[in-house]
Amino acid sequence: MTISPVKPLFTMMAAYNQWANRRLFGAASTIPDRDYRADRGAFFGSLHGTFNHLLVGDLIWMRRFTGEGEAPAGLDVIVHHDLADLRQARETLDRRIILYMGGLTDTALGATIRYRSTRSPAELEQELAPLLLHFFNHQTHHRGQAHTLVTEIAGEAPSLDLLIYQRETGVSMIEGAGGDFSKPEKRP
């Protein structure tokens, strides 16, 4: 089976997503609850609202991709009221994303996905690969907002740069073609 260069990109991005989320949740865990929940004028209000939106968006997209799992009705739904529960749900979903991306085939990447937007009942369709690019771009966008909130509250936040991830873990896009992404933590 020939593996296009696209699959390694998605498997690497899934592992990077987990790494970045762990770093950001780790930083958030040091923030007093009052500050963590305070409305700071962000798109989803607070750091808690932003983290919930990231989870909700990923749940919705994974449901669209796989036909399985929950899909909250709105983008601003608070699915977990406690940071510890939210962090655990994030870990669980990140593992699911990694396994899903690791199992993709070239055929699947070119397949058309049909889904409904949260804003419109009209059915939409598009190839999976561009939808996955949107999926990871959406994560980066809102994780950047969360990073800004952590910096605003705590004075600093960990680097979430993809290049830092690659240097720290030794994971590159090339490894994604044959690497074991079921355990994306540090690799030799």
Model pLDDT, residue 5:
74
The domain spans of the chain are 24-31+46-177
On whether the CB atoms of residues 127 and 110 are closer than 8 A, the answer is yes
pLDDT of residue 177: 40
Q: How far apart are CA 98 and CA 180, in angstroms?
A: 10
Residue type, 98: I
Q: What pLDDT, on a 0 to 100 scale, did the predictor assign at position 82?
A: 95
**What 3-state DSSP class applies to 45?**
strand
Using a 10 angstrom Cβ sphere, with 0-12 exposed, 13-18 middle and 19 or more buried, the burial of residue 104 is buried
Q: How confident is the chain (188 residues) per 10-residue block, as mean pLDDT?
A: 74 97 98 98 96 97 95 89 97 98 95 90 94 97 97 96 94 56 42
* Cα–Cα dist 66/60, whole Å: 10
Instruction: Determine if residue 134 is labeled as part of a ligand binding site.
Output: no
Q: Was 147 annotated as part of a binding site?
A: no
Neighbouring CB atoms inside 10 A of 106's CB total 14
CATH architecture assignment, domain 24-31+46-177: Up-down Bundle (1.20)
Reported as a single tens digit per residue, the pLDDT across 71-110 is 888 888 899 999 999 999 999 999 999 999 999 999 999 9
Closest CA to 35 of 156, 155, 154: 154
Cβ proximity of 172 and 12 under 8 Å: yes
Does the annotation flag 53 for ligand binding? yes
pLDDT at position 74, please? 86
| pTM of the complete model beyond 0.95 | no
